[in-house]
Amino acid sequence: MTLNSPSDLRQCDQNQLQQVCDETRQFLIDTVAKIGGHLAAGLGTVELTTALHYVFNTPNDRLVWDIGHQAYPHKILTGRRDELHTIRQPGGLSGFLKRSESEYDTFGAGHSSTSISAALGMAVAAAQQKLDRDVVAVIGDGALTAGMAFEALNNAGDMDANILVILNDNDMSISPNVGALRNYLTRMMTGPTVTSVRKGTKKALEIIPPVRDYARRWEEHIKGMVMPSTFFEEMGFYYAGPIDGHDIETLVKTLNNLKEIDGPRFLHIVTKKGKGFEPAEGAPITYHGVAPFDPSTGVIGKKTKVRTYTDVFSDWLCDMAEHDDKLLAITPAMREGSGLMRFSQEYPDRYFDVAIAEQHALTFAAGMACDGQKPIVAIYSTFLQRAYDQLIHDVSIQDLDVMLAIDRAGLVGADGPTHAGVFDFSFLRCIPNIVIYAPSDEAECRDMLYSAYKHKGLTSVRYPRGAGTGAQEQTTMTEIPLAKAVTVKQGSQVAILSFGTLLPAALEAAESLGATVVNMRFVKPLDEALIVEITRSHDLIVTLEENVVAGGAGSGVNECLAAQQISIPTLNLGLPDQYIDHGSQAQMLADAGLDADGITNAVMNASHYRLIADQKADNNSKIA
């Protein structure tokens, strides 16, 4: 069956929808098998996606997906089927929803729990403009653990907004509640008879309060006999469900019924991650984001195992916990990604997954620190952005002993700008009482984790996605003196001050430039004495960081020089003032001019470097 848009889909007979679902699911499996990508979540939303585009007049009706892992079927059905093989590839489709990519992508997001807020805003905008438009938000049960989702639900219910929220619940613990009886009861409670009675009598009952209250209690009593009272109804939503999210007929009927009801509505569907592909059903975490695999067997292609910075943190954490029972580890729903699997198994009583609740994670850690524990918050750089107020207000102002292990710092490759950790130097550096460590390789990362843990107060250690140089870590850990940089190559005229894992590129560039290279190691506090000393013997200072230039480590060096009233040409190299699309990490760094060639060219093209070169050439000419 060839469908190029939702309007084509809506021309189908309803009895053809299951075929559409089957073909979409198989196409998704076959495509991801070749290129890798997110699979299990999308397999679980095939029927829901089909039903939504069949019932609602998208894109006029707004469909807001939470994140984008579950939206691969949405891309297939909205004219991007033939481009799906490019997803997450350089120049290809985004792995998330992207407004500039399609008119059907009504809201772009890479962080979870934003869909209800965005959909509510769209519903209000439609009401203000008097538009005939339905607005639907689809949110997963994991995303519903975030406080932002409940803030939006509270607001939507209070303002009686015309919005439909669909909870895509793929937690298997609820599966016994799904079945023919439940589906029948839901269809009955949202069916045309009940709905017409509710709508037709609403205005009349408003003028007879006792009758109105009696009718409301009667309805709640009848529903209470066959389904539990729900939290969502108390928040002002008309609740329906749970229903089988893989029963296309039930989905279409229920969505059609709910479409005729005004105000805030909440549909609870139950799905299975990896639905229709047995290996993914049995191992949904493995097949969440997967490498290329054999679609006939599910066997995932073998990749050479390399030791990553996350592995370094994982092992250090367990080693440290063995020596200090005050150590507690916190993650906002990123156990596997942040390297906490081993710790959660070896120290289950000291491991805390707080769900997708980054703000809570920071204040939770602050409470622990208040009473003598040493909490470590393992968090991606991009997700730390969501807890900025708590970091300042609840941790820093009180000068509490909390450590941040910041993973995925810098560019992250295929996940693109929503997940890039390119701002943390800038937004952390301005916070009083913080120490910011920037390791250059794996061995230094282990020592810095130890040093940050031993320091009393707020500390952060940031490290990138993937592997580094392969520097061998030592079993014993060395505490690095605070604010002490190290000169790793002595040169002349040009000094490159390198912050973090770009040090190898700096050293390679220095070979052709004859430059000095300093591993700065700390973004805050800086080794000001070494910076001042460098200015006395060099003509050009170059700062290098995998962070935006604005407000970053280079800005810290500039401020140091200004405070010392030292005037010397400086060149700040970092990420540009723009968002960088997805691609390979190496290519993204090269495009940003942060590989060895880019650094060399930037320095050689700097006006002051050209002046130095001209003077040197002139002196050589005079000598000759």
User: Rounded to whole angstroms, how far apart are CA atoms 206 and 227?
Assistant: 27
The partner residues of 434 in beta bridges, in order of sequence, read: 458
Beta-sheet pairing, 434-437 with 458-462: parallel
Beta strand segments in 58-192, E: 62-65, 135-140, 164-169
Beta strand segments in 457-521, E: 458-462, 486-489, 493-499, 516-519
Q: At what angle do helices 596-604 and 503-513 cross, to 10 degrees?
A: 50
* Terminal-residue alpha carbon distance, the chain: 80
- CA distances to 360, 498, 500, 558, 597 from 553, rounded to whole Å, are 28, 9, 10, 9, 21
User: Rounded to whole angstroms, how far apart are CA atoms 378 and 358?
Assistant: 10
SS3 track for 252-296: HHHHHHHHCCCCCEEEEEECCCCCCCHHHHHCCCCCCEECCECCC
Burial class (CB in 10 A: 0-12, 13-18, 19+), 176: exposed
User: Rounded to whole angstroms, how far apart are CA atoms 113 and 290?
Assistant: 23
Could you please report the per-residue DSSP string of 368-406? Answer: HHHTT-EEEEEEEHHHHGGGHHHIIIIIITTT---EEEE
The kind and range of the H/E element at 619 are helix 607-623
> Active-site positions?
273, 358, 386
Beta-sheet pairing, 458-462 with 493-499: unpaired
The partner residues of 516 in beta bridges, in order of sequence, read: 495
Strands of the sheet with 538-548, listed across from one edge: 486-489, 516-519, 493-499, 538-548, 570-575
Total length of the chain: 624
Torsion of CA 51, 54, 60, 65, to 10 degrees: 20
User: Rounded to whole angstroms, how far apart are CA atoms 424 and 432?
Assistant: 14
